[in-house]
Amino acid sequence: MLIGTARYDSLPALASVEDNLLSLAEVLTASEVWGLPGEHVAIVPDPVTSADMLDPVVRAADEATDTLVLYYAGHGLIDHVRGDLHLALMGSDSQRMYTAVPYGHIRDALLGSRAARRIVILDCCYSGRALGTMADPITAAVDEASTEGTYVLAATAENQKALAPAGEPHTAFTAELLRICQDGLDGRGPLLDLDTIYNHVRAVMRGKGRPLPQKRDRNTAGQLTLIRNRAYQPLSRPAPSQPPPPATSAQHRAGSSSLPSVRPKAGPSVSPAANAVALEREFHVAMVDLYKRAKKEAGYSATYFLKMVSERGGLASARQLLSATSVSDGFTALWERNRLDLSVEAVVLHSRFASLFTDDEREQARLRLKEYGYVPPDPPASEAAMKSQMVQERDFDASHHRGGSRAGQAKCSWHGKTCDEDVVASVLVRDQGGEVWHAVCQRALDALRAGRPGEATVQPDEL
């Protein structure tokens, strides 16, 4: 859960906070760092109301069962009556503390979570107040929260301001966290625990003369592993004494364009479901990238769009926007800037993601863009000319075709409703739209083997 307030009505803006959120989401979803699925990383940019900030936290606390990480960057405010830490919203005013969110509300939501590990990272002024001190009235509450598996990491001490250096893309504290995620730590093992990360960041910040981070944990919480160490170098293994075995005849045939006399046995491969999930994640990343490019290239910050993608996922968000009876405010803003190439509709029409959408959805995207005077460029000639290519061939298995009405009933999905022939195989076919499993009859199988897939029209809605 990544929360950040970069823009304010009365407090100074913190432009680097927005980059904090996007950069953290990027590294945490990287397979070599943590590998979190994109849909498990929620971004809450520029919350306006207390509910905007707290509702996503409560949902995450209810859903998480293993590890829950909550990050906040923005202005931290102090209630001078009680001494409590408050997290600023866009409309917060330091003289009206009720316009900000008490950190205690965040803490209470985390206390109710069934997650085995709860990690809180606060990059804001006075964030050390979330840890509690002997003279601070919130100490008792913090002690209650400091149960096994809970770790609170604060950018500064209780009475110190955090640092957002002018001209730097990230705040000082988060920049060091990102550097560890991106570069790793030399001389450490393959995994980095919380205490190792904390000690390194503290040492670096001390060396730069910047505010020192603080932490609070209990028992073994500091030994919780958080990320993989990109700098880890395993000990080299001795070279094998025997050369690898020569390629088999079946392997030679797999690299040849000639027709094999016997159907090759399928080895380990990515399942159809895994292929679909991977493509959906790729689309999700493309949606987040739209936000980044619109801000950088068109000067448009699509905060609501980023929040929607974070909460619903990229694919669900795109479908919701396509089904709307009118264009979104973001679409209009891009049209005004003559940058509809950065619209969701333009990405939906990308051939790489064709298999994620129905023909009706893609046609809706095309018509909407046409209505506003934008015609997507033609695909490169090499892509347009790309023929369907059979990647794998297996005995028919209905589990490869979940969600396909014809294939699931052992009917040919290659020729569609015009074909009543018996299905003989399941094949994975690659074209400009990606990779899709088809249930095929003998006629379609022969055509694919011979490299003549164009003899019939595929019915994508019947896969």
- Rounded to an integer, the average pLDDT of 338-352 is 91
Is the model more confident about 382 or about 29?
29
Bridge partners for 86 per DSSP? 77, 102
What confidence score (pLDDT) does residue 418 get?
Answer: 59
pLDDT band at 29 (very low <50, low <70, confident <90, very high): confident
- Rounded to an integer, the average pLDDT of 115-141 is 72
Of the listed ranges 116-125, 228-237, 339-348, the least confidently predicted one is 228-237
Q: Mean pLDDT over all residues of the chain? A: 80
Of the listed ranges 232-236, 296-300, 388-392, 453-457, the least confidently predicted one is 453-457
- Rounded to an integer, the average pLDDT of 149-175 is 91
Is the model more confident about 161 or about 382?
161
The whole-angstrom separation of Cα 16 and Cα 83 is 27
Rounded to the nearest 5 degrees, what angle is found at the Cα of 300, between the Cα atoms of 15 and 346?
Answer: 135
pLDDT band at 398 (very low <50, low <70, confident <90, very high): confident
Give the pLDDT confidence of 296-327 residue by residue, as tens digits. Answer: 899 898 888 988 887 788 899 999 999 999 99
Statement: residue 330 has pLDDT above 50: yes
Statement: residue 443 has pLDDT above 50: yes
Statement: residue 127 has pLDDT above 80: yes
What confidence score (pLDDT) does residue 427 get?
Answer: 83
pTM beyond 0.85: no
Statement: residue 13 has pLDDT above 90: yes
Is the model more confident about 168 or about 272?
168
Of the listed ranges 106-110, 187-191, 291-295, 449-453, the least confidently predicted one is 449-453
Statement: residue 152 has pLDDT above 60: yes
The whole-angstrom separation of Cα 9 and Cα 5 is 11
pLDDT band at 457 (very low <50, low <70, confident <90, very high): very low
Long-range contacts of 169-172 (CB under 8 A, 24+ apart): 169/16, 169/19, 169/23, 170/16, 170/19, 170/20, 170/23, 171/14, 171/16, 171/17, 171/20, 171/73, 171/123, 172/205, 172/208, 172/210, 172/211
Q: How many C-beta neighbours within 10 Å does residue 295 have?
A: 18
pLDDT band at 382 (very low <50, low <70, confident <90, very high): very low
Of the listed ranges 130-139, 333-342, 365-374, 418-427, the least confidently predicted one is 130-139
Give the pLDDT confidence of 178-228 residue by residue, as tens digits. Answer: 999 999 999 899 999 999 999 999 999 999 999 999 998 765 677 888 899
Of the listed ranges 90-94, 133-137, 138-142, 289-293, the least confidently predicted one is 133-137
| Number of residues assigned to the chain | 463
From residue 289, alpha-carbon distances to 23, 71, 285, 310 in Å are 11, 21, 6, 12
Q: How many C-beta neighbours within 10 Å does residue 94 have?
A: 15
pLDDT band at 48 (very low <50, low <70, confident <90, very high): very high
Q: What percent of the chain has pLDDT over 70?
A: 77
What confidence score (pLDDT) does residue 348 get?
Answer: 93
Of the listed ranges 56-60, 273-277, 281-285, the least confidently predicted one is 273-277
Statement: residue 249 has pLDDT above 60: no
What confidence score (pLDDT) does residue 383 get?
Answer: 45
What confidence score (pLDDT) does residue 406 get?
Answer: 61
- Rounded to an integer, the average pLDDT of 121-131 is 92
Give the pLDDT confidence of 50-67 residue by residue, as tens digits. Answer: 999 999 999 999 999 889
Statement: residue 411 has pLDDT above 50: yes
- Rounded to an integer, the average pLDDT of 100-123 is 91
- Rounded to an integer, the average pLDDT of 367-394 is 72
The whole-angstrom separation of Cα 192 and Cα 27 is 14
